[in-house]
A and B are shown apart, each in its own frame.
Chain A
Amino acid sequence: MSEPLLVFDRVTFRYEPGAQKVLSEISFDLPARQVTLLFGPNGCGKTTLLYLTLGWLQPEQGTIWAEGRPLSSLNRRQRGRFMALVPQSEHTPFDYSVLEYVLLGRAPHLPSLAEPGELDIEIALNALARVGIEALAHQSLRALSGGERQLVLIARALTQQPRLLLLDEPTAHLDLQNTYRLVEVVRQLKRQGITVLMTSHDPQVVLALADQVVILRQGKVFRQGRLDEAFTSEVLQAVYAIPLQITMVQGKKTIQWL
Chain B
Amino acid sequence: MADSQALSALRTISQQRQRALWALGIGLIALLWLSLLLGRYPTPGFISLERLMSDELAGRLVFQLRLPRLLTALLLGMSLSAAGFVFQLLFGNPLVEPGFLGVSQGAAFGAALSIVFFSSSALIVQTNAALFALAGLGLSYLLARRLRYGGWVLRLILAGIAISAFFSAGVGLLKILADPLSQLPEITFWLLGGLASLTWQKFFSVLPFSLAGLTLLILYRWRLNLLALSDETAFSLGAAPQRERALLIVAAVLPTAALISVAGMVGWVGLIVPHLARRLFGSDARYSLPGALLLGGWFVVLCDNLARTLLNGEIPLGILTSFIGAVAFLALLSFSGKRWER
A interface, CB within 8 angstroms of B:
51, 54-56, 76-77, 79-81, 83-85, 87, 90-97, 99-100, 104-105, 107-108, 112-116, 118, 121-122, 125-126, 129, 134-135, 137-138, 140, 142, 160, 166
Contact = CB atoms under 8 A, between A and B. Distances in A.
Contact of A94 (B7, B223, B278): B278
Contact of B341 (A54, A95, A113, A166): A95
A104 B232 contact: no
Interface stretch (B21-29, B102-110, B161-169, B235-243): B235-243
B87 to A, nearest CB: 12
B239 A125 contact: no
Given A125-B6, A138-B9, A97 B282 contact: yes
A172 to B, nearest CB: 16
B138 interface: no
B237 A80 contact: yes
B7 A121 contact: yes
Contact of A87 (B222, B232, B341): B232
Given A122-B3, A122-B7, A94 B239 contact: no
B232 A94 contact: no
Given A85-B236, A100-B284, A95 B339 contact: yes
A90 B336 CA distance: 27
A76 B278 contact: no
B181 interface: no
Given A85-B232, A97-B282, A125-B6, A115 B222 contact: yes
Nearest to A114: B222
A66 to B, nearest CB: 15
Nearest to B6: A137
B106 to A, nearest CB: 26
Contacts, number: 112
Nearest to B95: A93
Given A56-B232, A129-B3, A94 B341 contact: yes
Contact of B229 (A97, A104, A108, A115): A104
A79 B232 CA distance: 13
28 contacts: A51-B232, A54-B232, A54-B236, A55-B235, A77-B238, A84-B236, A85-B236, A92-B92, A93-B92, A93-B93, A94-B228, A94-B283, A95-B339, A96-B282, A96-B283, A96-B284, A100-B284, A107-B223, A107-B238, A107-B239, A113-B219, A118-B7, A121-B7, A125-B3, A129-B3, A137-B6, A137-B9, A137-B10
Given A93-B92, A93-B228, A95-B282, 17 more contacts: A56-B236, A84-B236, A87-B230, A91-B92, A92-B92, A93-B93, A94-B341, A96-B283, A97-B282, A108-B237, A108-B238, A112-B223, A113-B219, A115-B221, A134-B2, A140-B339, A142-B339
B271 to A, nearest CB: 15
Contacts of A76: 235, 238-240
A134 B6 contact: yes
B94 interface: yes
A72 to B, nearest CB: 14
A113 B93 CA distance: 24
Contacts of A83: 236
A94 B89 contact: yes
A96 to B, nearest CB: 5
A83 to B, nearest CB: 8
A56 B341 CA distance: 30
Given A93-B93, A94-B228, A122-B7, A135 B2 contact: yes
Given A93-B94, A126-B3, A160-B237, A107 B232 contact: no
Interface string B315-342: 0000000000000000000000001011
Nearest to A85: B236
B233 interface: yes
Contacts of A107: 223, 226, 237-239
A122 B11 CA distance: 12
Given A51-B232, A115-B222, A135-B2, A93 B237 contact: no
A84 B233 CA distance: 9
A203 to B, nearest CB: 26
Contacts of B118: none
Nearest to B221: A115
A99 B9 CA distance: 11
B2 A129 contact: yes
A85 to B, nearest CB: 4
Contacts of A142: 339
Contacts of A108: 237-238
Contacts of B9: 137-138
Contacts of A126: 3
Contact of A104 (B13, B94, B226, B230): B226
Interface string B236-259: 111110000000000000000000
Most chain A C-beta atoms within 10 Å of own C-beta, residue among B94, B231, B232, B238: B238
Contacts of A116: 222
A51 B240 CA distance: 15
B16 to A, nearest CB: 13
Contacts of A113: 219-220, 223
A80 B89 CA distance: 22
Contacts of B175: none
Shortest beta-carbon contacts, A-B, top 5: A80-B238, A108-B238, A85-B236, A94-B283, A137-B6
